[in-house]
Copies of this chain bind each other. A is one copy, B any other.
Amino acid sequence: MKLATLRTAGGSTTAALVTGAGSYLTLPALDVGALLAQPQWRLVVEKAAEAAADKDQASTEINLIAAADADLAPLLPRAGKVICCGLNYGDHIQEMGRELPEYPTLFAKYADTLLGANDAVEVHGSGRVDWEAELAVVVGSELFRADEDQAREAIGGYTVANDVSMRDWQSRTLQWFQGKAWDATTPVGPVMVTADEAGEEFEVRGYVNGELVQHGNTSTLVFGPAQLLSYISQFTVLRPGDLVLTGTPGGVGMGMTPPRYLEDGDVLTTEIDGIGRLENQFRIHAHAEATV
């Protein structure tokens, strides 16, 4: 099944199931993360779907939203952890003449960085805004010191993300955090495809104003989804609704000759077959920061 998080009229959000007809059936949870945190979440979804199918059942509140009316929120607006892996596409690493890494390169961001699938991205104070199309893994059940099989079982599903990076800030120091943790700059969505319905590998594509700039297949990941979750869980607990970004294939703007960055008005599209597409326009206000 495909699950989404929608903004509601009251300024809140709701989890929703994507129906066969492409509309959204609202579910009794604030977002996909809150839904997954309910151990019986599949039953909750089934019950809502049955109630919607049997429209005579007036006692149950049914709310179907047409695709055209849906306002997609960040898939996991309240994710406790958003952990990212860098340097993870083997073909790209090898074409650059580097050794495959022995350990995943990990860094953290907070849920405040996340943004909806079709939201505009406002950037104040960076002139080097770059793209990183990625497959993201949604944690479905709690795991700690899990082996790879346990980690595979704990995968809730998959979604699309773009780890938009402010390269000027990222390169100021050795630690990438300050180039990666800008509020409302990491689009994620439009849906989570549950692990049982997702394939084994994914084609990841990134486009700027319709031009293909990134293309990779997750079969070439050095550390696959279950390996990453297992590795991370050796030192920190992962909970339902946490998000792990698996890294980006070649073709980022920083790697071009000359380097290319997003400009005010550009549209970034991030797409994974079988999951969906993010389409985000950029508003870039490149004034300097106030201090330091």
Residues of A within 8 A of B (CB): 80-81, 83, 86, 101-110, 112-113, 124-125, 144-148, 166, 169, 172-178, 181-183, 223, 227, 230-232, 234-237, 289-292
Contact = CB atoms under 8 A, between A and B. Distances in A.
B289 A231 contact: yes
B236 A113 contact: yes
Nearest to A103: B172
Given A101-B173, A173-B105, A236 B291 contact: no
B125 A235 contact: yes
A286 to B, nearest CB: 13
B124 A110 contact: no
Chain A residues touching B, majority SS:
loop
B173 A103 contact: yes
A234 B125 CA distance: 8
8 contacts: A103-B172, A103-B178, A108-B109, A110-B236, A125-B235, A175-B175, A183-B236, A227-B291
A101 to B, nearest CB: 7
A235 B290 contact: no
B108 A110 contact: yes
B230 A290 contact: yes
A176 B217 CA distance: 28
A108 B235 contact: no
A232 to B, nearest CB: 8
A170 to B, nearest CB: 11
A158 to B, nearest CB: 20
B112 A236 contact: yes
Contacts of A183: 144, 235-237
Given A177-B108, A178-B235, A234-B125, A292 B103 contact: yes
Given A112-B237, A113-B236, A147-B291, 20 more contacts: A81-B110, A102-B172, A103-B292, A104-B178, A106-B177, A107-B107, A108-B110, A124-B145, A125-B234, A125-B235, A148-B291, A166-B235, A169-B235, A174-B174, A175-B175, A178-B235, A230-B292, A231-B291, A234-B289, A234-B291
